Structure formats: structure tokens, C-alpha cells
Amino acid sequence: MLRTLRLLIITGLSALALLIASPALAQGSAGERAAIEGTRARAESLARAELESMLARLCPGRCELVELRAVVDAPRAVGRVTPGFGNSVAGSSYETRVSRIEATVLLDSKLPQNFRANIARMAQFRLQDIAPTIEIRPEFLDFPEPQLPPMPPMMREEPRPLPRPQPMPELPVAEEMPEEAPVAEPAAAPETPASPERPLWQELLPWIALLATLLILSFLIITILRRLEALTERRDSPASEPSTAEGSATEARQRPMPDVDELRAELKHSRPLLNRMLRVWIGEAPADVALLVRLVGSSILDDVRRDSSLRGPMEAIAREVALRDQPLDADEAHAIAEKARARLTAQQVLDDGSTDAEWEFLEGLGLAHIATLLQSCTRRERAFVLTRLSAVVRSRYLESLETDERRELLLEASEADALSRSQARELAARQRAVAEEFIDAGREAQGQASMVLEMIDALALREQEDILRDLLSRKPAVADAALGQLLLESTALHVPDEPLANALHRLPVETLATFMRGTRRDIADHLLARSPASTRQALATELSLDIPSTRVEFLEARRVFAQTLRTTLERDGFEVAAYNTNALRRGAHARQAPPPEPEVL
């Protein structure tokens, strides 16, 4: 209460001081505003006329004055000042000065650059007599084409000369009369100046200020009283706080999460459509696919993760999933669920009916398993199975064949008879059983391949190729799994030049030099010839130095080189296992002398 009374006393004293000073302040402020507005209007009129005439003469139709504003300093009183009222002047005389002029000019962006750069200086030169500071802001816009031809500036017409009056006829000369003495007129009484009448609003100005002060004071008092009543009611009713907190918690309750099981069932209803949708979505927006994986799990990518052409986007999705260490909120979950449903519906619209639920198991098989399935089929069955494959898998399988094999397979497919519905179902059941055996054997082969790779990682190239060649003849599944997880040194001789150059560009020169000193001579020469021009000179200089290296350093450099080249090939959609198999078939090591072992320190 003491604080409230103190506030009321301060407010009353302020109102009393305002009442005392309101008449003189009102009269002074009215005169100041009139002086400021008059000076601003004159300055803006002069500046606008100068700028418009300059723009109309220099670039008619291609430049326009958009905005102009004059800034006037506070007026300075001139005359006798009434004591006790600051700058209030009895004679209402003020001196004002324009401090700055701001203007915005719209220009055609196709005007010459020199003209657009110097338009502000020309305007400042024209307006320097009006204000000391001129700010010109040019804005550029593409004016429409074609434009009307520029019109000449408007010129004032000179007034037409009046006709000369005809000379008056000569009057007859009158006789001279004697001049009469002028009669003295009585002196006029001096006029008393009429006292100027003040307008009514100036007479009522003190009362208007008093009324405004009373209204403000009343508003403050009413606001303070209402605030005190609210504080008193809140203090008297403590039971209202829990209800308020409960209401705010109800309002802040989040939106429920979508049904993840229902969404997963909708997506997995048709594996071909799901895989087709995921391949398109992964290529367009990997970040959204990462959100979908966070929502429904990584099992949604079981089929497409085997596609080597999607290795790069899959790594990007894995990084996005690792960065999303916080669970999705309800809004994000609903948004990504709706996106997935919309994309799946779009694939259903594009589906031509060729997908069959009985052949969905083909979506989870690799190229090697598909080739084994086709070899176990007859000519009619092989042609039918090819039509059941997705377009991506079918094209990749045909690309993996030799030219003669591809031609023979296509001729068989064109000559084979169609299967009946019952024969197609029987073939699907038989191939599904074989595929399940492939999948189980593939898991076992992956484990065996990992152990083989750990053992041959430190061996020389000749020993690695001999072991892998024996595996191809004894355990093809294990050999295929191992060839898909490593990259031999001799494989660099058979990969395309573009991914090889990209991989060499990513590697440090020291690592490349260490690897090339320990590998075969033909491989080192091939890498040096395929190196980018920016690193070839530095690499040649590094190799010319007789710098010994240890076996450990060579193995580390070989591991980095193989990992970089393998990642580049997979990102570009190449099959690493096919290039490794090609290198084993060529048997390049049999035609070369064994490489010299690097000097061990």
C-alpha cells in the first residue's frame, strides 16, 4: 500500500506541473510544428521539382522518383524568450533548417552501368543548395519492352506579344488658363491598428491539455486499482493455481504419435512397389528416408540395401540416422508418414499389374542367386522368370552377362512359349524354396567370407589371388561374398579410368607413393598414368626419391587405397565383385615377375 500511495503522489505532482506549463507549451509546440511543416514542405517541393526535371531530361520513361523526404532540425527560437518557459517565445518566431534530404529513385536495370553508378552524384549536385546532406537510394528493376520513344521535356510556351495600340490622334491645344491656388485638404486622422483576433482552437488549447491530463491520470488510477484487486483475489484464493497449471498442461499436451505398426504393414503390403518407391525416394531425398527409418526401423530397407548402386545414398542415410540422436516428435512423425503414404500411392497409380505377390521373394536376392535360379530353369521357365524381375534388377543382370550370353538369353526368351497360371504358381513355389536355401547359405557364406578376409588381408597379391581362385572352384558362395567385400591390387588395372582418377585424387601423395613402391611394376605404372595432372608431377617426384618403407606402412597404404577405390566404385554404381572376378580370370600376376618386397627397417 505504501508503494501504491507513493505512486499516486508522484502522479499527482506530475499532473500539477503539466497543468502549470500546458498553456505556454501548447502555444510553443503549435508554432514549432507550423514552422517545421512549412520548411519541410518547401524543401520537398523544391527537391522534387529538381529531381523530376533531371530524370525527365536524362532518362525519360526509364527512371522514376518513388519517394522523397526532407528532415528538418528542431526549430530555434528567434526573439524575446519568456523567463521560466525554456524556448517558448512570445513573438512566435522560429528559425528552421533542413538537415537532410532522402530520396528513392527507381531505375531501369538495362541503363548503362556508368549512368546507374553516378545518378546519386548528379542528384546530390542538383540538391546541394537545399540541404547539406543528400541521400539518394537507387533501386533497379527490369522495365518492360518495348517502350514508347522518349518524349522531349515539357517547355513553357512564351506568351504571345500583345498587339501594339494605335497612336492616339493629336488633341487641339487649349488656351492656357490661369492656375488656381490649390485648396488645402484637411489631414486624415491616423488609423489605429486593429487588434488581431486569435482563432478559437488557440483559445481552447490550454483547456484541451488540462482535459487530456485528467484523462491520463484517471486511467492510471483505474489501472492501479484493478491490479490491486487482482493481487488481492489471487492471494485470497490459493486453490485456483493448481487448476490453472493443470489447464496449461492440458493445452501443452502433444499430438499423439502415428501407429507405427499400421504404417509398416501398409508399406510392406507389396514388396515390389515398396522397393520401387524406396529407390526413387532414396535418390531424391535421403534425409526423408532417414526419418522413415527412425520411425519404422531399418527392416524397411532389407531389399534395397543389397543394391550396390545405392551404396552411396545408403551411407548418407546411415549418417543422417546417426545424427538424429533424439526421437521424432509427433509433427515430424505424422509428416514423414504422410509422405511415405503419398509416394506409395503414386507407385500404385503407376503400377501396370505386372507385379505378382507370388514372386516377391525375388526382390531380396542378389545377382549371383538370380543367375543360379535361372540356370536351374528350363528355357520357358527362364524367360518367364526374367519377366518377373524388376526393371532395375533385370537390367543389372543383363549387364553382368557377356555379349554372346545376353544374345542367346534374349533369343530364348523370344522363342519360348508362355506358362499357364498353374505352371507359374508351381514354378514360383519351387524357386521360392531354392531362394530360401540361398538366403540361409548366404548368411553362412558372409560369416565365412569375413574370416577369410581377415586371414588374407596381410598376404601378398599372388597368395591372395591363389586363395580366392581356389575358393571360386570349391565354395563359390563364400568366394562371391569375399570378392564383394575387398578390392585386389590387380583390380585397379581393369576398373574404368574416371572412378580410378577420382579415387587417386582423394588420396594423399605420400600414401600413393608408399603403395606404388610396394606393388607390382605394371600396377604402379598404370596408376601413375591415370593420376590427375595436379598430382602426377608430385607423385613422380616422390617416387624418384629412394625412401624405404616398412611392411606395415605398405599394408596400411594398400588398405587405404583399396577402401577409397572400392567406395568410389560403389558410389558410382559399379559392381566391385565383378571387377575382382575379372582380375582373377585375367591372371595378370602369372605374366609378371613377383614384386620386390619393400625394404624393412
What are 249-273's pLDDT values in tens digits?
Answer: 444 455 788 888 888 888 877 777 8
**Before 313, cis peptide (omega within 30)?**
no
Report which of residues 99 and 88 the model is more confident about. 99
Average pLDDT over every residue of 1-8: 62
Q: Nearest CA to 542 among 588, 508, 586, 582? A: 508
Listed in sequence order, the residues at least 6 apart from 83 whose beta carbon sits closer than 8 Å to its beta carbon are none
Whether 396 shows a pLDDT value over 90: the answer reads no
Whether 216 shows a pLDDT value over 90: the answer reads yes
Average pLDDT over every residue of 388-408: 74
Average pLDDT over every residue of 423-432: 74
Report which of residues 25 and 560 the model is more confident about. 560
Whether 138 shows a pLDDT value over 80: the answer reads yes
Lowest model confidence (mean pLDDT) among 7-16, 113-122, 151-160, 412-421: 151-160
Average pLDDT over every residue of 434-460: 71
Lowest model confidence (mean pLDDT) among 107-121, 234-248, 340-354: 234-248
Whether 589 shows a pLDDT value over 60: the answer reads no
CATH class of 2-141: alpha beta
Mean pLDDT across the chain: 76
Is-contact 134 101, C-beta < 8 A? Answer: yes
Which residue shows C-alpha cell 577369410?
Answer: 452
**Per-residue confidence band for 593, with pLDDT thresholds at 50, 70 and 90:** very low
Distances in Å between the Cα of 78 and the Cα atoms of 26, 73, 152, 457, 601 are: 18, 15, 46, 99, 99
Lowest model confidence (mean pLDDT) among 42-56, 107-121, 162-176: 162-176
Q: How much is the pLDDT for 484?
A: 79
Whether 112 shows a pLDDT value over 60: the answer reads yes
Concatenating the DSSP letter of every residue in 505-562 gives HHS-HHHHHHHHHHS-HHHHHHHHHHS-HHHHHHHHHHHHS-----HHHHHHHHHHHH
Average pLDDT over every residue of 182-191: 51
Whether 292 shows a pLDDT value over 80: the answer reads yes
Q: How much is the pLDDT for 106?
A: 92
- What's the full length of the chain, in residues? 601
Q: Which of 80-84, 449-453, 523-527 has the highest mean pLDDT?
A: 523-527
Report which of residues 309 and 5 the model is more confident about. 309
Is-contact 209 18, C-beta < 8 A? Answer: yes
C-alpha 561/C-alpha 569 separation (Å) is 12
**Per-residue confidence band for 5, with pLDDT thresholds at 50, 70 and 90:** low
Q: Is the pTM above the cut of 0.85?
A: no
Average pLDDT over every residue of 89-99: 68
Q: Which of 25-34, 114-123, 361-370 has the highest mean pLDDT?
A: 114-123
Whether 242 shows a pLDDT value over 60: the answer reads no
Whether 302 shows a pLDDT value over 90: the answer reads no
Whether 103 shows a pLDDT value over 90: the answer reads yes
Instruction: Give me the helices (H) in 200-328, please.
Output: 200-236, 240-251, 260-267, 271-284, 286-296, 311-323
**Domain made up of 472-591: CATH architecture:** Orthogonal Bundle (1.10)
Listed in sequence order, the residues at least 6 apart from 365 whose beta carbon sits closer than 8 Å to its beta carbon are 373, 435, 438, 439
C-alpha cell at 397: 543382370
Q: Nearest CA to 127 among 74, 66, 54? A: 54
Listed in sequence order, the residues at least 6 apart from 327 whose beta carbon sits closer than 8 Å to its beta carbon are 294
Which residue shows C-alpha cell 576398373?
Answer: 495
Average pLDDT over every residue of 322-345: 86
C-alpha 360/C-alpha 356 separation (Å) is 7
Q: How much is the pLDDT for 135?
A: 92
Report which of residues 496 and 597 the model is more confident about. 496
Q: How much is the pLDDT for 280?
A: 86
What phi and psi, each to the nearest 5 degrees, are found at residue 443?
-65, -45
Average pLDDT over every residue of 182-204: 60
Give the type of residue at 352.
Answer: D
**Domain made up of 359-446: CATH architecture:** Orthogonal Bundle (1.10)
Whether 462 shows a pLDDT value over 80: the answer reads yes
C-alpha 257/C-alpha 328 separation (Å) is 9
Whether 91 shows a pLDDT value over 50: the answer reads no
